[in-house]
A and B are shown apart, each in its own frame.
Chain A
């Protein structure tokens, strides 16, 4: 009986937290309206943002205000944080989909897909960017910007009490920069916004209009990849814009803790970082073979080949999803390499998706250590280190196990998704490409994702993006906990 009381109290606390998060996230919906003074013709669309914002705010306010809660200042466990993260993400994604539906651009499935693609920084799109109003384009970029940092990070840096450390760990952005979670999240937002402003300026210098520069900078740093042009970055056909995009994508895919070390001038730590090393190694390895065996057949001149290959390699591994052209003319060799890069993905604690460089790195390192250990004397004492953020970390076998479990889970889900694609009659390489792109929150497409795509495909991708962004386990833990608690509650009522 007493446990039921406690359970009730805890869920009341959770509801309160979710209420605060929903209220705050309704504010995001108002941000695109700031552009209306510059585009007065689009005032007619403002209701599409006001209405959901007001609805969400009211729901959040009711949840926050009218939930009984006795004790102040209670901490959250990781599992409870998981529930809050899961529910606030779902609510935010749904509310962000409403503007697309209200101006009759997309139906329910497509709107949820687009909103999920935005918040998870994927970049797969069913919106026709040539006809979409500017506020809608802006809204897509804003979703990616905040989705990149993460809902909880944004909230913790501004409105939320820092008691919810469980929240921070639950969102898959677990590296801390400073020894306090509030300052840490603030530092992340400062670094992130700083780079974004830098990106906007660079794009303007390279000749983009302010509107395009703003949208592309947000989408590149969040490794999102929504573009305001149908041909993405390829529209500009400008080397300087491409180089800026390379840099922004690479910055976006680097862990914020690593950035923090770099910005403090700690270059030694930066280059010792396993993720940075692996990123450089993968680029150095895949770019030449991709050039020689695949892209070489498409273009006539060497500079074209080099530009295309470097761009597509970085966009795939950083899970951004900007593109220079379609992949229709690529041979299977090139397609598979891009798929592998998309599966590997970017750095932990960055805005990227995929399996993450860190996990790949420690699994390969542990293979190396195992082989090395075989040749050492039996009772040799070994201590294995890796560099993470600013710290040298002793690697326990638990970490390797966690990483290996994650990889297996990721790959299983991946093949399950590919099977669903195949059942709808798509061919193997297209299916593998498209679902790797969705699960890794990349956003490159071979053309399956479009307005005409069957809704089963869109929902599969939506779920894939969600699982990939929140890194599976949080979602599983939260759902299992909710079910267990509900079962207990109804069995003992």
Chain B
């Protein structure tokens, strides 16, 4: 599988290490070259230093041939733009985007873009745990 990861922060670099170790072809794009130092020696893919909102950078990463694009920058507007470029211009089969501000999830409504929000995941996990312990107002039924 050919994966392009945009943004090499805490999330992006960890995903890149994981996928590369599992034998996927991985290309990481980040604006700052210093971000690539977060990558571990497990990572054997390519790194591209540049702004992912520029088409030339996206083309350099061969986004048109990607099977999956994962967008993990810190800025939601960049995420939404890049993920939509990937989905609708280059028709990447699978686009996954990180949502920093949960309210912004509305941007991706009615699109084929898969969204993941760290905040929501945190809340879900917490809810699940509390429900398992059966404490307070939360119980097993409220999980459904």
Contacts and interface: CB of A to CB of B under 8 A. Distances in A.
A163 B42 contact: yes
Contact of B23 (A165, A176, A182): A182
Given A176-B46, A179-B46, A180-B20, A75 B25 contact: no
A45 to B, nearest CB: 41
Given A176-B46, A179-B46, A180-B20, A77 B41 contact: yes
Contact of A163 (B21, B45, B60): B21
B26 A180 contact: yes
Contacts of A179: 2, 25-27, 44-46
A76 B21 CA distance: 13
Contact of A165 (B2, B25, B27, B44): B44
B43 interface: yes
Q: Which of A78, A162, A391 has the most CB of B within 10 A?
A: A162
Nearest to A156: B44
A178 B41 contact: no
Interface in A77-125: 77-78
A152 B27 CA distance: 23
Contacts of A184: 44
B34 to A, nearest CB: 13
Contacts of A474: none
A183 interface: yes
B26 A165 contact: no
Nearest to A394: B49
Contacts, number: 42
Contacts of A176: 44, 46
A106 B9 CA distance: 59
A77 B25 CA distance: 21
A181 interface: yes
A172 interface: no
Contacts of A180: 20, 23-26, 44-45
Given A75-B41, A162-B44, A165-B42, A183 B25 contact: yes
Nearest to A185: B44
Nearest to B62: A179
A75 B44 contact: no
Contacts of A166: 41
Contacts of B2: 179
Contacts of B46: 176, 179
Nearest to B46: A179
A75 B40 contact: yes
Contacts of B23: 162, 180, 182
Nearest to A76: B41
B63 to A, nearest CB: 13
Contacts of A75: 40-42
A183 B23 CA distance: 9
A209 B106 CA distance: 72
Nearest to B17: A75
Interface string A158-180: 00001101101000000010111
A165 B24 contact: no
Nearest to B3: A179
Contacts of B43: 165
B32 to A, nearest CB: 14
Contacts of A183: 25
Contacts of A78: 41
B65 to A, nearest CB: 11
Given A162-B23, A163-B21, A181 B44 contact: yes
Interface string A172-216: 000010111111100000000000000000000000000000000
Contacts of A178: 25
Nearest to B43: A165
Q: Which of B2, B26, B41, B60 has the most CB of A within 10 A?
A: B41
Contacts of B20: 180
Interface in B8-44: 20-21, 23-27, 40-44
Contacts of B40: 75
Contacts of A77: 41
A156 B120 CA distance: 41
Interface in A112-153: none
A176 B26 CA distance: 12
Contacts of B60: 391
Contacts of A162: 21, 23, 44
A182 B46 CA distance: 13
Q: Which of A78, A163, A176, A180 has the most CB of B within 10 A?
A: A180
Contacts of B24: 180
Contacts of A76: 41
Interface string A349-390: 000000000000000000000000000000000000000000
Contacts of B26: 179-180
B141 to A, nearest CB: 41
A182 B44 CA distance: 9
Nearest to A78: B41
Nearest to A75: B41
A163 B42 CA distance: 6
A179 B43 CA distance: 9
CB-based closest 9 A-B pairs: A181-B44, A179-B45, A75-B41, A179-B46, A179-B25, A165-B44, A180-B25, A75-B42, A179-B27
Given A78-B41, A165-B41, A180-B20, 18 more contacts: A73-B21, A75-B41, A75-B42, A77-B41, A162-B21, A165-B42, A166-B41, A176-B46, A178-B25, A179-B25, A179-B27, A180-B24, A180-B26, A180-B44, A180-B45, A182-B23, A182-B44, A183-B25
Interface of B: 2, 20-21, 23-27, 40-46, 60
14 contacts: A75-B41, A162-B21, A163-B41, A176-B44, A176-B46, A179-B25, A179-B26, A179-B27, A180-B20, A180-B25, A180-B26, A181-B44, A183-B25, A184-B44
